[in-house]
A and B are shown apart, each in its own frame.
Chain A
């Protein structure tokens, strides 16, 4: 894989705003081009229609006509500037010019209409002042400010039309029409700008989802790298023990006493055992693919998973010396991945074997429960041994990767420090939890409690044939 694009994207995400502005810029330019073209065509159409009305003598040369004509021409000039800016990749200039053109239209028509109908000039000035913030807040992308100014405009319109004394001489019908038209036009502008803002927010959200997904992939990638690094490190020490003890056997074979020879052979054998444990963990890790982020969910029969896990645990360590008490009803099913569950269980079982006296029992119990307020019941799976237990002071170490209890390090119990952390990863990948209870007193042992969701109602009743 070429590393360059990844590095570029990394650098990009460091400046998230840049990513957002890119998404925003492309959209904005497209939007500005469409809107400015439409607005310019409409205003030019307005000039053509008015010229036609005048030339064909259908319109009278009143002040109202000329006022409207001037407004349309002024707006067209502004919209022309907006159109030119939009096609020269200056979306900010385009936005200002187009909004300016639209405002000129709206306000011009209002002024023309209201002057023609003899409204007070104070009222006209009020409209001019209050309408401006709408356009500005729209350009600045502040929907709340825009909403507030729109409400203000509507209230002021009502004040001007119905309360300002100078306007009381107008007939109520005229004032009603003016008020309704004004409110309608302002609300339409506010609506258009709100829609644009919503669209803008939607774009930002999409960009942030993409960014988050990418970051998650990077996190998983780092986790995988860490894992490989740790395994590499974990393998080197036993490998050195193995190679150096065989080297000693080879170099000094003639002079070695039988106990010395046995010692080197034992060291070599122990080292291969340890390496094989680590390799099994790694291969399982590869197989189940935790860390890649894709877990195939299916209903899993808990009873079968327990049986398989027991068989697997038997391969690592003979479980025969422990009386087994298994109480798992055959109808119990979880919603998860059979390989992940089996591996976690196998790990708990080998641990139970490793840390308890030969004749002490091991219990596996599962039952269904429904928490108060939960949407669907869950399965609780308890694996109990009667061994050494976990000292409370070391509880925090238990699920940590590559960490082992001081007691086990001192007493030389083999282990990779990967097992429980790996089990936890598996269970959490299936949206479950794993915890333990232990008094820390030898003989009272430890209970590991796995909680996993049951299949959702719409899930297929039986597991697919090839889930392993």
Chain B
């Protein structure tokens, strides 16, 4: 997506915690001078992905959502990465799940970064900026390296 540099970047936050959404909208807006959008569920997030031209998505993994068959963050990212229109949007996971397996899945489905809550605002800003600056070639190379690495073992194995 070749965008003119002058247009401000738009970042989408997908998280089910209303407090965290409010904080990230205010905080990231202040620290990065970017347009910040937020969605409380993966479904609502996909609607925004379809409508807006996004520079980066920060997504949670465990989202119960208002419907019974709520979609989790991995599924959301798979859908975003599966659509040629949106596959180039960088993804940063921001989640409470600290297990190695989740981290591996997050990066394997195409996440640029995987941050475990709580994380400092400055680190989050850094991760978003780095994700936006990453070129598709670098991303492909990293995925390839990941595919060749040994996947972590689940604690239930």
Contacts and interface: CB of A to CB of B under 8 A. Distances in A.
Interface string A240-272: 111111011001100000001001100100110
Nearest to B21: A241
Contacts of B26: 248, 260, 263-264
Contacts of A247: 27, 120-122
Interface string A400-415: 0001101001101000
Interface string B109-135: 000000011111110100000000000
A270 B19 contact: yes
Contacts, number: 76
Contacts of B120: 243-244, 247
A409 B66 contact: yes
A409 B96 CA distance: 18
A46 interface: no
Contacts of A406: 66-67
Interface in B18-47: 18-20, 22-24, 26-27, 30-31
B27 A271 contact: no
Contacts of A248: 23, 26-27, 30-31, 121
B62 A267 contact: no
A238 interface: yes
Contacts of A270: 19
Contacts of B118: 236, 239-240, 242-244
A233 interface: yes
Contacts of B122: 247, 251
A232 B118 CA distance: 11
A208 interface: no
Nearest to A396: B68
Interface string B1-20: 00000000000000111111
Given A233-B96, A237-B117, A410 B66 contact: yes
B20 A241 contact: yes
B116 A271 contact: no
A237 B22 contact: no
A240 B19 CA distance: 10
Interface residues of B, number: 28
Interface size class of A (residues with CB under 8 A): 20 to 34
A294 to B, nearest CB: 27
B139 interface: no
Contact of B27 (A242, A244, A403): A244
Contacts of B18: 412
B96 A236 contact: yes
A231 to B, nearest CB: 11
Contacts of B116: 236
Nearest to A409: B66
Given A244-B118, A248-B121, A409-B64, A267 B22 contact: yes
Contacts of B23: 241, 244-245, 248, 264, 267
Contacts of A263: 22, 26
A270 B21 CA distance: 13
Nearest to B60: A237
B53 to A, nearest CB: 27
A317 to B, nearest CB: 19
Nearest to A245: B23
Contacts of B97: 233
Interface in A73-90: none
B30 A252 contact: yes
Nearest to A238: B19
A29 to B, nearest CB: 38
A245 B117 contact: no
B131 to A, nearest CB: 18
Nearest to A270: B19
Nearest to B66: A406
A236 B117 contact: yes
Contact of B17 (A241, A251, A260): A241
6 contacts: A233-B62, A238-B17, A244-B119, A244-B121, A252-B30, A264-B26
Given A232-B98, A236-B117, A412-B18, 16 more contacts: A237-B15, A237-B96, A238-B19, A239-B117, A240-B20, A240-B119, A241-B19, A244-B27, A245-B23, A247-B121, A251-B122, A267-B19, A270-B19, A271-B19, A409-B16, A409-B64
Interface of B: 15-20, 22-24, 26-27, 30-31, 62, 64, 66-67, 96-98, 116-122, 124
Minimum-distance CB pairs A-B, first 3: A236-B96, A240-B118, A236-B117
